Amino acid sequence: SIASADMDLNQLEAFLTAQTKKQGGITSDQAAVIAKFWKNHRAQIHESLVSQSRWDNALRNISWRVDLQSQLRHADQINTPVALVEMELGKNGQ
């Protein structure tokens, strides 16, 4: 539950407090150990879950620009914006 919700420290504290108050729940010592583990390994756990849930290409890089042609020789003003978007896709680990 903690990992799938990617809980911040406040959410984690509330969740663990609720778990210690449940009948058959965890002890306060167990809650302290879980909290310490989550604080130290949250980023790695989150990245692992994200990489396991990806089965197709992922967006590696994106760049964009908008060009606006304001004047031509044969027309006074041409306000036609053109957007150029470049996306780099790749599989996980590539």
**Span 46-53, average pLDDT:** 84
Helix (H, G, I), strand (E, B) or coil at 14: helix
Parse the chain into domains and list their residue ranges. Answer: 9-53, 57-91
Length of the chain in terms of residues written: 94
Mean pLDDT rounded to a whole number for the chain: 86
Percentage above 90 pLDDT, the chain? 48
pLDDT of residue 94: 59
The end-to-end CA distance of the chain, in Å, is 30
Q: Is pLDDT above 70 for 76?
A: no
> Which of 3-7, 39-43, 59-63, 80-84 is the most confident on average?
39-43
Stretch 53-66: mean pLDDT: 84
pLDDT tens across 22-48, in order? 998 899 999 999 999 999 999 999 988
Does the structure show a pLDDT above 80 at 60? yes
**Calpha distance 5→45 (Å, rounded):** 12
